[in-house]
Amino acid sequence: MKSAAASSDLESLPALKVLLRARAEGRMPHAVLLTGPNPELLQRVADRLASIHLEVVDPIAHADCRVLRPSKKSRRINVENTLEVVTDLRLTSVSARRVVIVHEPDRFESVAANAFLKTLEEPPAGTLIILQTTNYYRVLPTILSRCLRFHVGGATPELTDAAWADWLREFDKLMGRLAGAGTSTGRSTEVVIPLYALCARFEVLLELFVEEALKAAPPPPPTDQDEDDAEIAYEESIRRGIRTRMLAALEERLRLVGRAHPSCGLQVAEAVDLLEQARIRLELNYQIISALEGFFLRTLRVFAARPLNPTS
């Protein structure tokens, strides 16, 4: 149960202030899309908005609150779960109000999204649909056009683990070698061996952080999905969030390399693009080591191929 102080802190957020004012004036939209960089904050705001709409402390436990989220290891919102929620909304409700919370609508299968569109556009009376995601630009246009979007501020939480800080220092050393001196990029003892070591350690650290997060996190919220599917999807959601934070730290480190070595600006920009490609592959369930190896080896080639004297 959230404390009154915690609720008050949330309601000071500009997005929630606007929504609460609209509700008081009878202008509350029937579908809102909450976006922002912090998944934990997005979930808290979605829960708070559902709590206010249903006028209960714990909306997730309410009979008229339905949750739609990615399932199984593929972490897609499938058509079976979507149709179940859509059908339930047409049944008799306990109260005059209903809520549907959609976690990560960017993960809709196309068939599932199509099945949800009619409900999203014209839900039953008294229904509030709350969608929340950190990946706004991957939400289908057909869904975006049927929601009012509200950005929820807040920085992406940083990883402060000492082992991760050590990994980043080794990454900085590797990038410093690549940016600093020509022919040494071909020496396996200086570049290739550390490269593969970083890939292996990244995967180990990711799984360690996921394990720690699962110990600290509450159990998966109850849904109408199969319990095993919900647990797998919940774990994959945590893994995805932590991996996103780790890759964001890599991108920031790459940009720092560009500032420290202005002559390597083009190479750094290409490395950032390669990192984004690796991230996309991971979203498609590529193995973490394969995606990272591809990023590092292609980045190595980019730096090795640059002119030794860029001004000539």
The tens place of each residue's pLDDT in the chain, 312 residues long, gives 343 434 557 777 888 888 888 888 888 899 999 998 888 888 889 999 999 999 999 998 899 999 998 887 667 899 999 999 999 888 877 888 999 999 999 989 999 999 999 999 999 999 999 999 988 888 999 999 999 999 887 666 678 889 999 999 999 999 988 887 544 444 556 788 888 999 999 999 999 999 888 887 665 555 555 556 667 777 777 888 888 889 989 999 999 999 999 989 999 999 999 999 998 888 777 888 999 999 999 999 998 888 765 443
CA 105 to chain centre: 11
Domains of the chain, each with CATH number or no CATH: 4-151 (3.40.50.300), 162-304 (no CATH)
The token pair at 253 is 């480190």
The token pair at 238 is 């945590």
CB 10 within 8 A of CB 20: no
What is the pLDDT at residue 226? Answer: 58
pTM score of the predicted model:
0.65
What is the pLDDT at residue 180? Answer: 78
104's torsion region: left (phi>0), alpha (psi -120 to 50) or beta? left
What is the pLDDT at residue 206? Answer: 94
Buried b (16+ CB within 10 A) or exposed e, 96-128: ebbbbbbbbbbbbbeebbebbbebbeebeeebb
CA 202 to chain centre: 18
* Rounded Cα distance, 245 and 159, in Å: 7
What is the pLDDT at residue 167? Answer: 96
* Rounded Cα distance, 62 and 81, in Å: 19
The token pair at 33 is 């899309």
What is the pLDDT at residue 229? Answer: 66
Q: Is the dihedral of CA 237, 255, 189, 305 positive or negative?
A: positive
Beta bridge partner(s), residue 108:
77
Q: At what angle do helices 265-283 and 227-260 cross, to 10 degrees?
A: 180
What is the pLDDT at residue 2? Answer: 44
* Rounded Cα distance, 55 and 213, in Å: 31
- Cβ atoms within 10 Å, residue 207: 13
Amino acid, res. 219: P
Torsion of CA 273, 248, 130, 147, to 10 degrees: -30
Q: How close are the terminal C-alpha atoms of the chain, in Å?
A: 66
